[in-house]
Structure 1
Amino acid sequence: MNGRGWGRGRGRGSDGGRADDGDGGRARDGDAVRLRSVSRRYGAGDRAVTALAQVSLAFPRGSFTAVMGPSGSGKSTLLQCAAGLDRPTSGSVSVGGTELTGLSETGLTLLRRDRIGFVFQAFNLLPALTAEQNVALPLRLAGRRPARAEVREVLRRVGLGERARHRPGELSGGQQQRVALARALITRPEVLFGDEPTGALDSQTGREVLELLRGAVDREGQTVIMVTHDPVAASYADRVVFLVDGRVHGELAGARAEQIAGHMARLEAVPC
């Protein structure tokens, strides 16, 4: 399948994509997530490992960003720090203007519950619950009693309006990931984070999930930040940010899958 080139006003270079090494972390109105000089180190002394090194990035509201890079480049660490799942060693992260650095663990938990959605490669559905019960779970954990119509509507949006009473074991992998997406969207999060959300799916089913993510951005104004290794998946995004050895190594806007794949091949060919 060819990449779709979903550029949103960033402009394309002569090859259909634009590499950019500018200051991605400078403050701008309308940013859903902002990282400023974020570093994350694990361990101490000679055994310390730097997963992120002085990363500055801004993710505008209503945009779809893919994050790519070679194995060990820091993609998942960036996602975890941006989503408040991990604390940076230095630097700052803000979500919707809320600075995460000074939040307590309880504060971070509440922020993730109320303002952030997650979709992972593993669907993480509870097997004993129906699709609609799985979708309603985040609201119940927040002390809300969700209306059945509200749950059915979000299931309808992901194409599962007729499968509300089916349990995960009665659904295909793609349908389970749609339930997971509906569960993430039910809270109307400010930001939706995806960690290889199509990694466990076949190509056709993966495209269907990507179309849903793209639609959530275009029709609902959702902000999506997705880590992926797949150039086709990344081509659904407005821009692709590349990491190498924990540092931002440029980006492409409005690029097709083959252009993204070519850029990745060049990054992986650079000697460490």
Structure 2
Amino acid sequence: MSSGTVQLRAVTRRFSLGATSVTALDRVSLTFPRATFTAVMGPSGSGKSTLLQCAAGLDRSTSGSVTLGGTELTDLSETELTLLRRERIGFVFQAFNLLPSLTAEQNVALPLRLAGRRPSKARVREVLEQVGLGDRARHRPTELSGGQQQRVALARALITRPEVLFGDEPTGALDSRTSREVLDLLRAMVDREGRTVVMVTHDPVAASYADRAVFLVDGRVNGELTGAGAEDIAARMTRLETAPC
């Protein structure tokens, strides 16, 4: 399997709530090929975030398998999983999670420092330039707009040259113009750099930037749309949200 390809086979994730058990994912099988952009959508409680967490090695599935390239995540120890996430996976969330006392360039360099590696100033500046913030390297988060902070978070995710970038509502806290800027950056990472992007979103406009939108309902895959526009994606979501239980 090529580097950057994520594959889930019959992945189930159950959570115990007292005496009851809740199935968040129910035998989900999906492939996210290298150099593609996939949006994961579905009604509230459909299992979107759980899918992302299992695919990214942030959570362990109850059964089934998850592979990144040729690596089976379900066989790894916690230490091995931590190393894999640090070296091969990038994350961008709705909350920017920047340290307010650090400058943009210091926030970007943080993953390398935490890994015990000395960050190259040239590499830090390179990824800041990549997200259009080369002139904001010494600014702290309070001196940046929300969109600029999210771009710093994106640069931080890219500093290790990850094979896969996972986003959980990465534009959820942004206005429409700033959202488009961030989505354009994600799209360019796929088209120009061959990265794999998997993004959970509730926004049909955001999903229209992806190559395909995969829909979940009650922890199961409920079809997908390829190359669809925002209107078609919104119509599909409306049908899913209004369908009888």
Q: State how 1:12-27 maps to structure 2 within 5 Å.
A: none
Q: From 179, 189, 197, give the equivalent of 1:224.
A: 197
Partner of 2:26: 53
Residue 78 of structure 1: how far off its partner (Å): 0.1
Cα deviation digits, residues 25-74 of structure 1 (max 9, x gap): xxx65661000000000006851000000000000000000000000000
Q: From 101, 111, 115, give the equivalent of 1:128.
A: 101
Secondary structure of 2:5's counterpart equals strand
Partner of 1:153: 126
Q: From 234, 237, 245, give the equivalent of 1:261.
A: 234
AA matched with 1:233:
A
Contact 2:4 2:163 in 1 (8 A): no
Partner of 2:175: 202
Partner of 1:115: 88
Contact 1:242 1:251 in 2 (8 A): yes
Secondary structure of 1:117's counterpart equals strand
Scaled by the length of structure 1, what TM-score is found? 0.88
Partner of 2:215: 242
The structure with higher relative contact order (CA 8 Å, sep 6+) is 1
AA matched with 1:196:
E
Alpha-carbon distance in 1 for matches of 2:65, 2:203: 29
Cα deviation digits, residues 105-147 of structure 1 (max 9, x gap): 1011111111100000000001000000000111111121111
Contact 1:38 1:92 in 2 (8 A): yes
AA matched with 1:102:
D
Partner of 1:171: 144
Partner of 1:193: 166
Q: Which has the higher helix share?
A: 2
Alpha-carbon distance in 2 for matches of 1:95, 1:157: 25
AA matched with 2:23:
T
Secondary structure of 2:90's counterpart equals strand
Partner of 1:64: 37
After the TM superposition, which of the residue ranges 48-57 and 134-143 deviates more from structure 2?
Answer: 134-143
1:213 paired to 2:186: yes
Change (3 A) 1:139 1:38: same
Contact 1:31 1:58 in 2 (8 A): no
The 4+ residue runs of structure 1 with deviation greater than 2 A are 28-31
Q: From 85, 109, 117, give the equivalent of 1:144.
A: 117
Alpha-carbon distance in 2 for matches of 1:148, 1:263: 46
Structure 1: any 5+ residue segments left out of the alignment? Answer: 1-27
Q: Percent identity?
A: 80
Secondary structure of 1:162's counterpart equals helix
AA matched with 1:238:
D
